[in-house]
C-alpha cells in the first residue's frame, strides 16, 4: 500500500518535493516490511522557513479525523540546514514510533523495525552521510530504504 499524500494547498511546492525526497526511503521500508498504508498530510501550520513539517497518519486517517477523536500520528519537523541523511533519520524516528504503536494495536507485537539478529528493534541514525537502521548491539547497519 503506497502512502497517500494530502495537502491543503498552502504548502510550497518546493517544501512538498523536499519532504517527499526525505520520507521516500522510510515509506518504502514501512511498505516492504509491514504492508501498512500511511497518509502524509501537509499543512503550513508552522510558518518557519527553516523547517519542513508534515504529519503522518495510519492509512485512511487525517487531521479531519483527529478533530473528532485522538488519532495516532507522527509529526515530522525537519530542519533544512541539517544534512539529508540526518533529515531521513529524524523522519524515520518519528515514523518508527507510529508504526510500532500501530502494529501493537493491530497484531499485539511492536518494535518496528525488528533486528534480524536479536530480540529488539533497530534505531535510525545518520552515519558517514548515510541514513541507516542500526542494531543497538553492534549488528550490521541497514540503509534506510533497504529493509526487506
Ligand atoms: Zn540487534
Mean pLDDT of 49-54: 78
Instruction: Look up residue 46 and give its three cell numbers.
Output: 508552522
Cα 123 to middle of ligand 1, angstroms:
10
Q: Give the distance between the most distant pair of CA atoms in the chain.
A: 44
pLDDT at residue number 43? 75
Q: Which residue has the higher pLDDT, 95 or 9?
A: 95
Cα 114 to middle of ligand 1, angstroms:
8
Three-state secondary-structure class, residue 135: coil
pLDDT at residue number 80? 86
Instruction: Look up residue 76 and give its three cell numbers.
Output: 515530522
Answer yes or no: is pLDDT of 44 > 70. no
Q: What is the pLDDT of residues 3-31, one digit of tens each?
A: 899 987 777 778 889 999 999 999 999 99
pTM: 0.91
Looking at 65-79, 92-106, 114-128, which range is the least confident one?
A: 65-79
Cα 141 to middle of ligand 1, angstroms:
9
Cα 145 to middle of ligand 1, angstroms:
18
| Residue ranges per structural domain of the chain | 4-143
Task: Please give the mean pLDDT across all residues of the chain.
Answer: 90
Residues near ion ligand 1 (CB < 5 Å) are 115, 117-118, 135, 137, 139
Cα 112 to middle of ligand 1, angstroms:
12
Q: What is the pLDDT of residues 103-139, one digit of tens each?
A: 998 888 879 999 999 999 999 999 999 999 999 999 9
d(CA 46, CA 114): 33
Answer yes or no: is pLDDT of 46 > 60. no
- Beta-bridged to residue 56, according to DSSP, are 40, 74
Smallest CA-to-CA distance from 93 within 117, 75, 107 is with: 75
* Ramachandran assignment for 49, one of left (phi > 0), alpha (psi -120 to 50 degrees), beta (any other): alpha
Cα 67 to middle of ligand 1, angstroms:
39
E strand or H helix that includes residue 76: strand 74-79
How many residues are recorded in the chain?
A: 148
Residues in contact with 33: Cβ distance below 8 Å, sequence separation at least 6, in sequence order: 112, 113, 147, 148
Cα 1 to middle of ligand 1, angstroms:
27
Q: Are 52 and 14 in contact (CB under 8 A)?
A: no
Amino acid at each position: 500500500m503506497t502512502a497517500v499524500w494530502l495537502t491543503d494547498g498552502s504548502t510550497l511546492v518546493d517544501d512538498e518535493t523536499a519532504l517527499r525526497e526525505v520520507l521516500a526511503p522510510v515509506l518504502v521500508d514501512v511498505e516492504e516490511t509491514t504492508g501498512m498504508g500511511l497518509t502524509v498530510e501537509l499543512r503550513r501550520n508552522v510558518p518557519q522557513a527553516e523547517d519542513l513539517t508534515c504529519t503522518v497518519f495510519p492509512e485512511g486517517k487525517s487531521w479531519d479525523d483527529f478533530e473528532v477523536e485522538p488519532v495516532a500520528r507522527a509529526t515530522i519537523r525537519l530542519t533544512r540546514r541539517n544534512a539529508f541523511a540526518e533529515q531521513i533519520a529524524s523522519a524515520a524516528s518519528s515514523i518508527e514510533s507510529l508504526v510500532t504503536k500501530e502494529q501493537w494495536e493491530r497484531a499485539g507485537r511492536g518494535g518496528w523495525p525488528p533486528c534480524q539478529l536479536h530480540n529488539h528493534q533497530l534505531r535510525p541514525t545518520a552515519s558517514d552521510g548515510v541514513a541507516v537502521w542500526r542494531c543497538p548491539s553492534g549488528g550490521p547497519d541497514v540503509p534506510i530504504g533497504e529493509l526487506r
